[in-house]
Amino acid sequence: MGKGGFYISKAVGVVAILLGAAAVATIIALSVVYAEEKSKNEVKPTEGKPEPSPTTTKATTAAPTTAAPTTAAPTSAAPSNEPWDKYRLPDTLMPEYYNITLWPRLQRNESGIFIFTGKSFVVFKCLQATNLILIHSNKLNYTKFDEHHATLTGIDDPNPPTINTTWLKLETQFLVIQLKGNLLHGKSYRLDTEFVGELADDLGGFYRSEYSEDNVTKVVATTQMQPTDARKAFPCFDEPAMKAVFHITLIHDNETKALSNGKEIDTKNIEGNLLSTTFEPTERMSTYLLAFIVSDYDSIEQQDDVLIRIWARKKAIADGHGEYALNITGPILQFFQKYYNASYPLSKSDQIALPDFNAGAMENWGLITYRETALLYDPQVSSNGNKERIATVISHELAHMWFGNLVTMKWWNDLWLNEGFASYVEYLGADHAEPTWNIKDLIVLGDVYRVFAIDALASSHPLSSREDEINKPEQISELFDAISYSKGASVLRMLSEFLTEDVFTKGLSTYLNHFAYNNTVYTDLWDHLQTAADTSGVELLHPVRDIMDRWVLQMGFPVVTINTATGTVSQKHFLLDPDSVVTRPSEFNYQWYVPIKWMKTGIEQEKVYWLQQKEDKNDNMSVNGNDWLLANLDVTGYYRVNYDNDNWERLLAKLTENHTEIPVINRGQILDDSFNLARAKIVSTTLALRTTKYLYNETEYIPWQVAINNLDYFILMFDRTEVYGPLQAYLGKQIKPLWDHFTQITDNWTKVPDNHMDQYNEVNAIKIACSTGFKDCQDLVKYWYTQWMQNPNDNPIHPNLRSTVYCSAIAEGGDKEWNFGWEMFQNASIASEAEKLRAALACTKYPWLLNRYLEYTLVPKIIRKQDATSTIIYIANNVVGQPLAWDFVRARWDDIFSQYGGGSFSFSNLINGVTKRFSTAFELRQLEQFKKDNAGTGLGSGTQAVDQSIERTKANMKWVAENKASVLQWFTTESG
Ligand SMILES: *[C@@H]1O[C@H](CO)[C@@H](O)[C@H](O)[C@H]1NC(C)=O
Ligand SMILES: *[C@@H]1O[C@H](CO)[C@@H](O)[C@H](O)[C@H]1NC(C)=O
Ligand SMILES: *[C@@H]1O[C@H](CO)[C@@H](O)[C@H](O)[C@H]1NC(C)=O
Ligand SMILES: [Zn+2]
């Protein structure tokens, strides 16, 4: 298909005149028509995609979370067989290329709204004769061609049919054009439209973001198309398989810069201060990967084979906050070219930081958009966690440039492959940029354990959905969940491990080459991996497809039990709540083909053992004497492991005697598996607690972080009971050597540890030491914080330690410390610093300060609306704040409900957040009463959360009743 310059050069001059004239007329029209459309068709803002959050917040406690169901109830509207009543496009037409000119206005019009005007045409081919054109269109008003909204011309059909009628189908988001005759098979046609839309602050489609610089409010026009909002910017065949070439032109004033997927190739002055910037035509690509941005941003750049630019607010660029992103982008791109054995398909790579952005980042081809915190790095205030997040998010998005963008899933039901893949290889790309971090190990905390917590529930769902189950935009949005991202990443890592990375990348490379600029279903990848395995002589007991079906088509994962006395190995679907009932059938009866990498007494076994039945016997796995067996090395397999009691005892003994004989990830695994097996009543709670005893000798981050995540549940359940004293005493005893270790390696807290993981674990040492009452720790943080209070312009606290030092200092201090933190929060000019303070202010132990802080949360001028619920949750996480937050939420329910509406996602987080400690009959009654009291006005999107909270409270009550006595006794004995 031609990429010639014809349409580009011709369009520029004509467009300027047309748009100029059209604008005046339509600005007035818009406010009327758009308002009408809005009321008839209340469309929720797109959720966007939840890109990975920082590892520090990703780490999960074992508390149950709910997974989103994939299948939604059937449409309430009466079923109809008209093509425009269906959500999917018919197979009759295929776009070839578009020519789009858009003009966003960065000032309000006379009616007080922001708009954009546009003019576009699409050339498409008719694959089956039809008298109907269905093209996606949402919230656009058509401003030309009278009631037909469009004109149709034939490219190679000299007698194209004329338009009969045209209308907008709001429910299914179509512009419907009925013709008087047929479009002919094999012929191409061109459809022209002109339209106007609102440049709203709704974070979807073509939208606006605002920020203030030098006390001037600035407006950025930007886009978020994925999954189904390109149709909100211009009429298009808005499905991922409807790939086409896009010729794009943006009109903007000469104080601003326009960006899109392709490089700018021409900028013309069209009248007064208006410019028209044209971009090189895109490759053949999906609509959801388009991006159009107009801003007055600055950039920094590097030109290797590919032009790399980082864009941000002028001040952020001037302050050097884009440098880190610029420095690592080149190496990461090079890594992926080598990994995929395919060169970067485009001539440039732009990355841009936006003040308002729903997701973490979006992989628009050639123009990646980010939240500011996911791209901008300031060594003066950013922690190593902030830095890691930037490296992994950039790596994730760059991975998509091939996997997802060059080769795209045919339909959204295969989203998990796209996101799971990027979520896996983001660790590989980041590792290449920061080889000293050992970041690949962190996938176990950040993805495997994170999603285990959800995938162990009876209400989980499989990775794969059937194509016909996913139709509506809401159903598509629901797929962007932890299962798609983190379970997808976990099983692809397992696959790469058992195939070997060499075979995996070989298959990947032929897959990408074969399907370049085209679409696939996930089994296409299996086929290419199979061929790679066959040609490399890797023998598998079953075809790749058969092995993967069991992980992809069934929800959940197994617990593998190895009896080392007999060598019996068996598997069972692991459920966190043993009383829960699985109603979802599985054609594989919840059995898997399980690859087991294992070691015997410190010696790694060469051959992977495959468990293929429910139960099997492997004589090599029977051990005796002092030998011990450890399975699922480095947790490369997506399953938990249980052993006979003797082997557990031998592992515990080994941890005590010389824990370094067990690989570090598996030290964490022994803790995490045993705590979760205890929750599921497969092993005793005291066995799980005993795995923490060796921590006295442990200095590594991963096992400590796993322990903290799991003990967090004990703290939540018992911090208001007599168990808490002995629990704290035990933790204090265990943390002492770690505290001493860091005192030493940081030269008495004056130096930053070299090692990335040590930097994280230093934070753990301070957090636990201070919270368990270490005088040295409390004095240290008080000293730092006081120094800062005396000299607010010179913060002596290292960015890595700020979150925890602020929290400890405010917890130990009084209103002076709180008020200082509050003032610093209000003055913070950098988002990540404000975040740290906002969380720390919830750490005070004074009820009156907490109550005042709660009041502030509902004053949007003080706490931004988007931060209100998370602030209330921070307060509820504090044992003193918990009852205050619960009272506050109940007392102010009507305010909260009206201010934050029933639709927002954080609303159910709020209910879950303030009730997660609930574990008594009294609290259960309060919750049930709360549900009853609000039965009339309703709980909105909190409805399901209240029911979940009731269920969780009951489960907690049961757990506490069953475990409290033994837990108390254990901590009492062990803390002595
Ligand atoms: C923008 O255009 C106006 C009108 O032609 C001109 O006066 C002004 O200097 C231009 N500004 C820039 C930054 O080029
Ligand atoms: C895309 O792939 C399909 C199926 O393999 C093939 O029939 C088609 O020709 C390909 N299209 C392009 C443009 O490569
Ligand atoms: C502990 O195990 C490690 C790794 O096997 C070994 O290098 C070290 O010498 C052992 N230490 C002791 C005290 O046995
Ligand atoms: Zn992604």
906 confidence band (pLDDT: 50, 70, 90): low
Q: Are the C-beta atoms of 290 and 261 separated by less than 8 Å?
A: yes
Using the 8-state DSSP alphabet, how is residue 854 labeled? H
- Separation between Cα atoms, residue 2 and residue 97, nearest integer Å: 9
| Six-digit token string for 597 | 């990498």
Protein residue with its CA nearest to atom 8 in ligand 1: 273
**Rounded CA gap, 709 and 445, in Å?**
10
3-state secondary structure of 797: coil
Residues annotated within the binding site for Zn(2+) are 396, 400, 419
Task: Classify residue 468 by its DSSP letter.
Answer: G
Residue of minimum CA distance from atom 11 in ligand 3: 658
Which domains are delineated in the chain? Answer: 10-296 (2.60.40.1730), 298-391+399-406 (1.10.390.10), 408-552 (1.10.390.10), 558-689 (2.60.40.1910)
What backbone phi and psi angles, to 5 degrees, belong to 94? -135, 120
Q: What angle do CA 179, 184, 187 make, to 5 degrees?
A: 115
For helices 645-658 and 664-679, angle between their N-to-C axes, nearest 10 degrees:
140
**Residue 956, CB half-sphere, CA atoms under 13 Å: how many?**
25
Q: In this model, does residue 6 exceed pLDDT 50?
A: no
Run of H or E residues at 351: strand 348-354
What's the rounded Cα separation, in Å, for the pair 927 and 540?
53
Tracing tokens 């001493």 back to the chain, one arrives at: 740
Quick one: the chain helix, strand, coil %, rounded to 5? Answer: 45, 20, 35
**Look-up: residue for tokens 């009327």?**
32
Element (H, E) at 152: strand 150-154
With 90 as the cut, is the pLDDT of residue 1 above it? no
273 CA from centroid of ligand 1 (Å):
5
pLDDT in tens, 351-390: 999 987 777 899 999 999 998 989 999 998 999 999 999 9
pLDDT at residue 3 tops 60: no
Report which protein residue has its CA nearest ligand 1's atom 2: 273
CB atoms under 10 Å from CB of 338, counted, come to: 12
Closest ligand to 659 CA? 3
Among 721-735, 754-768, 921-935, which is the least confidently predicted range?
Answer: 921-935
Any atom of ligand 1 within 6 Å of the Cβ of 273 = yes
The lowest-confidence range among 10-14, 565-569, 623-627, 871-875 is 10-14
225 DSSP assignment: -
Long-range CB contact pairs, 746-750, < 8 A, 24+: 749/780
Query: Ligand 1 center to residue 367 CA distance, Å?
Result: 27
Residue 976 has pLDDT above 70, yes or no: yes
Closest ligand 1 atom, residue 255 Cα: 13
SS3 of residue 477 by DSSP:
helix
Mutate to test the pocket of ligand 3, among 604, 658, 664, 694 (most ligand atoms within 8 A of CB): 658
Write the residue with the smallest CA distance to atom 13 of ligand 1.
255
Q: How far is the CA of 618 from the centre of ligand 3 (A)?
A: 29
The number of the ligand 3 atom at minimal distance from the alpha carbon of 602 is 5
Query: Which burial class, exposed, middle or buried, applies to 913 when counting CB atoms under 10 A from its CB (0-12, 13-18, 19+)?
Result: buried
Out of 252, 254, 268, give the residue to mutate to test ligand 1, the one with the largest number of ligand atoms within 8 Å of its CB: 254
**847-860 average pLDDT score:** 94
565 alpha carbon – ligand 3 mean position (Å): 26
Of the listed ranges 30-44, 401-415, 567-581, 771-785, the one predicted with least confidence: 30-44
Question: What confidence tens digit (pLDDT) does each residue in 278-309 have?
Answer: 999 999 999 999 999 999 999 999 998 899 99
Question: Could you tell me the distance, in angstroms and rounded to a whole number, from the CA of residue 654 to the centre of ligand 3?
Answer: 11
Query: Is pLDDT above 90 for 59?
Result: no
Q: pLDDT category, 78, cuts 50, 70, 90?
A: low
Q: Is the pLDDT of residue 9 over 60?
A: no
Run of H or E including 479: none
Q: Which secondary-structure segment (H or E) carries 600?
A: strand 598-600
CA-closest residue to ligand 3 atom 5: 661
Question: CA-to-CA distance for 360 and 371, rounded, in angstroms?
Answer: 5
Rounded to an integer, the average pLDDT of 216-243 is 97
The alpha carbon of 277 and the centre of ligand 1 are apart by a number of angstroms equal to 16
The mean pLDDT value for 830-835 works out to 85
The pLDDT-based confidence of 771 (bands split at 50, 70, 90) is very high
Q: pLDDT of 638-673, one tens digit each?
A: 999 999 999 999 999 999 999 999 999 999 999 999
CA-nearest of 777, 834, 772, 847 to 805 is 777
Query: Considering every ligand atom, which ligand is closest to the CA of 359?
Result: 4
Query: Is it the case that residue 31 has pLDDT exceeding 80?
Result: no
- CB hemisphere CA count around 118 (13 angstroms): 36
827 Cβ inside 6 Å of ligand 1: no
Starting from the CA of residue 254, give the closest ligand.
1
Ligand nearest to the CA of 405: 4
H-type alpha helices, 354-500? 384-400, 415-433, 443, 449-455, 473-478, 482, 488-499
643 neighbors 564 (Cβ within 8 angstroms)? yes
* Segments in 254-383 forming alpha helices (H): 314-318, 323-340
Question: What would the DSSP string read from start to end of 661-684?
Answer: GS-HHHHHHHHHHHHHHHHTTSS-
Return the residue whose CA atom lies nearest to atom 4 of ligand 1: 273
pLDDT in tens, 684-700: 999 999 999 999 999 99
pLDDT tier at 896 (50, 70, 90 boundaries)? confident
- What pLDDT is stored for residue 314 in this prediction? 96
Q: From atom 3 of ligand 1, which residue's Cα is the shortest distance away?
A: 273
Cα 737 to averaged position of ligand 4 atoms, centre (Å): 41
Answer whether 272 contacts ligand 1 (Cβ < 6 A): yes
Higher-pLDDT residue of 40, 405: 405
Q: Whose CA is nearest to atom 4 of ligand 3?
A: 661
Alpha carbon of 749 to ligand 3 centroid (Å):
29
Spatial distance between the Cα atoms of 839 and 861, rounded to a whole number of angstroms: 18
Tokens at 931, concatenated = 């549900």
Using alpha carbons, list the distances in angstroms from residue 967 to 680, 688, 955, 959, 970: 16, 11, 17, 11, 5
- Taking the C-alpha atoms of residue 216 and residue 192, their distance in angstroms, rounded to an integer, is 39
pLDDT at residue 912, rounded to an integer: 86
* pLDDT at residue 828, as a whole number: 84
486's enclosing H/E stretch is: none
pLDDT: which is higher, 15 or 227:
227
CA 270 / ligand 1 centre spacing (Å): 12
Which of 656, 660, 697 gets mutated to test ligand 3 (max ligand atoms within 8 A of its CB)? 660
| pLDDT higher than threshold 60 for residue 707 | yes
Which numbered ligand comes closest to the C-alpha of 403? 4
Say what the alpha-carbon torsion angle 968, 973, 974, 976 is, to the nearest 10 degrees: 120
Specify whether the CB–CB gap between 650 and 600 falls below 8 A: no
The Cα 419–Cα 406 span in angstroms is 14
Q: Which atom of ligand 1 is nearest to the CA of 273?
A: 2
Q: Is the CB of 269 under 6 A from ligand 1?
A: no
| Ligand 3 residue neighbourhood (C-beta within 6 Å) | 658, 660-661
Closest listed ligand to the CA of 253: 1
Please compute the mean of the pLDDT values over residues 238-262 and round it to a whole number: 98
Give the integer Cα–Cα distance in Å for 897 and 902: 7
Position 480 pLDDT exceeds 90: no
Q: How many H helices and E strands in the chain? A: 31, 31
pLDDT tens-digit readout, 301-335? 999 889 999 999 999 999 999 999 999 999 999 99
**Phi, psi dihedral angles at 141 (to 5 degrees):** -110, 130
- The preferred substitution site among 255, 273, 277 for testing ligand 1, maximizing ligand atoms within 8 Å of CB, is 273
User: What value does the CA radius of gyration of the chain take, rounded to a whole number of Å?
Assistant: 29
Q: For residue 211, what are the CA distances in angstroms to 138, 296, 315, 630, 894?
A: 27, 12, 12, 54, 31
- The whole-chain average pLDDT of the chain stands at 89
User: Does residue 46 surpass a pLDDT of 70?
Assistant: no
- The whole-angstrom separation of Cα 248 and Cα 266 is 11
Place of tokens 């990848």: 525
> Which pLDDT does position 79 carry in this prediction?
58
How many beta carbons lie within 10 A of that of residue 265, not counting itself?
A: 12
Q: What distance in Å separates the CA atoms of residue 429 and residue 336, rounded to the nearest whole number?
A: 7
Number of the ligand 1 atom closest to the C-alpha atom of 253: 1
Taking the centre of ligand 4 as the mean of its atom positions, its distance from the CA of residue 407, in whole angstroms, is 14
122 neighbors 190 (Cβ within 8 angstroms): yes
Residue whose CA is closest, atom 2 of ligand 3?
661
Please tell me if the CB atom of residue 255 comes closer than 6 angstroms to any atom of ligand 1.
yes
C-alpha closest to that of 360 among 480, 449, 474:
480
Spell out the residues 6+ positions from residue 439 whose beta carbon is closer than 8 angstroms to its own: 388, 391, 392, 427, 430, 431, 756
Nearest CA to ligand 3 atom 13: 658
Atom of ligand 1 nearest to the CA of 254: 1
Measure the CA angle with vertex 68, ends 64 and 73; round to 5°. Answer: 135
Counting atoms of ligand 3 from 1, which one is nearest the CA of 658?
1
Helix (H, G, I), strand (E, B) or coil at 113: coil
Give the number of other CB atoms < 10 A from CB of residue 463: 25
Cα(518) to centroid(ligand 2), Å:
6
Instruction: Report the run of H or E that residue 111 belongs to, with start and end.
Output: none
Task: Please say whether the beta carbons of 661 and 654 come within 8 A.
Answer: yes
111 C-beta closer than 6 A to ligand 1? no
SS (H, E, C) 713-749: HHHHHHCCCCCHHHHHHHHHHHHHHHHHHHHHHCCCC
CA-proximal residue: ligand 3, atom 1 (nearest): 658
List, by residue number, the catalytic residues.
397
In the predicted model, is pLDDT for residue 544 greater than 50? yes
